[in-house]
Amino acid sequence: MTITTAVIDLDLPGATISRHIYGHFAEHLGRCIYGGFWVGEDSPLPNVRGIRSDVVDALKAIRIPNLRWPGGCFADDYHWRDGIGPRERRPRMVNSHWGDVVEDNSFGTHEFMDLCELLGADPYVSGNVGSGSVAEMSDWVEYLTRADDSPMAALRRANGRDQPWRVPFWGLGNEAWGCGGNLRAEQFASLARQYATYARNHGGNSLYRIAAGANADDLHWTETLMRSFNDLTSDPAGHAGPFQAVSLHYYTMSGSWSDKGDATGFSTDQWYITMARARHMEELLTRHSTVMDRYDPHRKVGLVVDEWGTWWNVEKGTNPGFLYQQNTLRDALVASVHFDAFHRHADRVVMANIAQTVNVLQAMILTDPDTNALVLTPTYHVFQMNAGHQDAAALAVHLRDADTRTVEGDELSLVSASASVNGDTALVSLSNLDAEIDRSVVLDLRGRDVVGHSARILTATALDAHNTPERPDAVAPAAHAGVRAHARGLEVDLPAHSYVTVSLDLR
């Protein structure tokens, strides 16, 4: 068995890992909203005002911190006034990006805010820059957050909501380089400044404005936004610059955009390609952060990875525009690798949103359209096992003697790890990305006494093992007995293709 050492100084806490790194994304796409979150008040399924109860309960169990809506590409086609008022009077529209289906707008602003309140999650609203107007976005902010008798506050009350909502996160467009307008970076930087100016703070509600950022390794886009940000002084309310963060999108696949690879039935080589591409997130965070540091050395501007995850070919027989894909053990380890990277960059990465929450791409939850059964995916369990990292202080993990494998010309480290501390508890996350070889990791624990420990493991026999209504626990966490005392701390067994978390009681 191969042995790797992980040196962790338990008494040297770093930046706080924001709970918002564990955020989610729900777009009007396929069965994410309709058939996922929203079943309607007349549904035989248990629901609260049309919102499916078991979905809410499952997400509350993983402490969902925020939810991004209504898109995605849909956001820049969405006009919020179409989604308020009596549902039977709401106009219909064509969802041209996702399946070319007709959207009836029965799930709109009030339904989304109700969902967030049921989840206990902060709303992250993506405003329409691509086909909307400055006035439209400004009115939406006022409608949501203003308390007095302003025109939009009065309209909200007429639609049944007296008190304003708290809306902390506001997106200025989405993928402006693509479906959000096919704009050049310089064009969008000017628009972002303009739209941000009119996305005002009302009363006690303070918006954290997030400008639509780069696609993967487009450093020019990030630099253009940061340059735009840097040449402005603080606004009269004391908020530095027009927006407080920029976003980044990156998806992991084993093939190309035309043939992304299948979610199941993949080869061992495709497993390793996927892991190497997932670990590319580390390089992206480093490079974009370096660009941002040039203009913001004190790291006051946040980096928000508000779309990330795996993207496979859709399941056979499903609408290609609905992006429904199976979720396997491979997806779970892609998630664990991403979280390790986010933890290491906690001083810059303030939020991340996996795409997407229900029935779309790398979902937490799959709902069967025929039986209505709810399935928790392997990715869901990584979120659950990692919950202790939320709002904890990151700990540096120094790996020694970690094996590597050459994949697409680069060296892939086969062990991924991160750690955090919160008071007298620490959590260590460990991933063995090797498809075939078991290994052991020695946790060289320094600086504080460890007086107790427990561990959980997520793995399966097959690389593409996944959960179904018939076998809902084919991939599920279990207690891990493979942890024992070592002269330096603890030794942890990591079976091939496994994910392990070790909780430490400290003194």
Does 462 reside within a domain?
yes
Residue from 77, 123, 53, 107 nearest 374 by CA? 53
Claim to verify: residue 100 and residue 196 sit in the same structural domain: yes
Does 374 reside within a domain?
yes
Does 56 reside within a domain?
yes
Claim to verify: residue 50 and residue 148 sit in the same structural domain: yes
Domain containing 124: what range?
19-258+299-391
Q: What is the CA radius of gyration of the chain?
A: 23
Instruction: Count how many domains the chain has.
Output: 2
**Which pLDDT score is estimated for 236?**
42
Claim to verify: residue 210 and residue 126 sit in the same structural domain: yes
**For residue 249, what is the enclosing H or E element?**
strand 245-252
Does 291 reside within a domain?
no
Claim to verify: residue 91 and residue 157 sit in the same structural domain: yes
Claim to verify: residue 418 and residue 338 sit in the same structural domain: no
Does 279 reside within a domain?
no
Classify burial at 103, counting beta carbons within 10 Å of its beta carbon; exposed 0-12, middle 13-18, buried 19 or more. Answer: buried
Claim to verify: residue 59 and residue 205 sit in the same structural domain: yes
Residue from 248, 206, 198 nearest 226 by CA? 248
Which one from 307, 411, 436, 491 is the annotated catalytic residue? 307
Spatial CB neighbours of 259, under 8 Å, sequence gap ≥ 6: 313
Which one from 27, 103, 111, 175 is the annotated catalytic residue? 175
**Which pLDDT score is estimated for 2?**
73
Residue 54 is classified by DSSP as H
Spatial CB neighbours of 349, under 8 Å, sequence gap ≥ 6: 18, 21, 285, 302, 303, 304, 305, 342
Claim to verify: residue 425 and residue 460 sit in the same structural domain: yes
Rounded Cα gap, residues 251 and 361, in angstroms: 10
Claim to verify: residue 501 and residue 365 sit in the same structural domain: no
CATH number of the domain where residue 101 is located: 3.20.20.80
Residue 7 is classified by DSSP as E
Question: Mind listing the pLDDT tens digit of every residue in the chain (507 residues)?
Answer: 678 999 999 999 999 999 999 999 999 999 999 999 999 999 999 999 999 999 999 999 999 999 999 999 999 999 999 999 999 999 999 999 999 999 999 999 999 999 999 999 999 999 999 999 999 999 999 999 999 999 999 999 999 999 999 999 999 999 999 999 999 999 999 999 999 999 999 999 999 999 999 999 999 999 999 998 765 444 444 445 789 999 999 999 999 999 999 999 999 999 999 999 999 999 999 999 999 999 999 999 999 999 999 999 999 999 999 999 999 999 999 999 999 999 999 999 999 999 999 999 999 999 998 899 999 999 999 999 999 999 999 999 999 999 999 999 999 999 999 999 999 999 999 999 999 999 999 999 999 999 999 999 999 999 999 999 999 999 999 999 999 999 999 999 999 999 999 999 999
Claim to verify: residue 386 and residue 421 sit in the same structural domain: no
Claim to verify: residue 216 and residue 320 sit in the same structural domain: yes
Judge whether 283 counts as a catalytic residue. no
Are residues 43 and 35 in contact, defined by beta-carbon separation less than 8 angstroms? no
Judge whether 307 counts as a catalytic residue. yes
**Which pLDDT score is estimated for 390?**
98
Of the three residues 391, 426, 453, the one that is the final residue of a domain is 391
Does 282 reside within a domain?
no
CATH number of the domain where residue 458 is located: 2.60.40.1180
Are residues 341 and 281 in contact, defined by beta-carbon separation less than 8 angstroms? yes
Please tell me the total number of residues recorded for the chain in this structure: 507
Of the three residues 360, 391, 422, the one that is the final residue of a domain is 391
Residue from 121, 114, 94 nearest 52 by CA? 114
Rounded Cα gap, residues 412 and 79, in angstroms: 45
Claim to verify: residue 125 and residue 216 sit in the same structural domain: yes
Of the three residues 328, 361, 391, the one that is the final residue of a domain is 391
Claim to verify: residue 223 and residue 79 sit in the same structural domain: yes
Does 86 reside within a domain?
yes
pTM: 0.95
Does 293 reside within a domain?
no
